Amino acid sequence: MRDKRKKFVDLAEARVNRAIKDLKLIGNLSNRSSYEFNDDDVKQIFEALQKELNVAKSRFSENGSGGSDSFRLKN
């Protein structure tokens, strides 16, 4: 049982740190001198992120899965 805990901790730390890094990279997209975007683009990004975060969180309390495998901005 101890091995399962260690595996969980190791993977959780690595994956959460990677997610935090990627969220910071998404935040870098807010630089208007480098990128052009509108409020709807920002809304779509954060709705998609929140949806997947909600799905991941719910999987810890039930045997659910779901969500999407990729994200695309709608024009």
- The total number of residues shown for the chain amounts to 75
Q: What is the pLDDT of residues 19-49, one digit of tens each?
A: 999 999 999 999 999 999 999 999 999 999 9
Full-model pTM: 0.79
**Per-domain residue ranges for the chain?**
1-31, 37-75
Give the whole-angstrom CA distance, residue 46 versus residue 26: 10
- pLDDT confidence tier of residue 70, bands split at 50, 70 and 90: confident
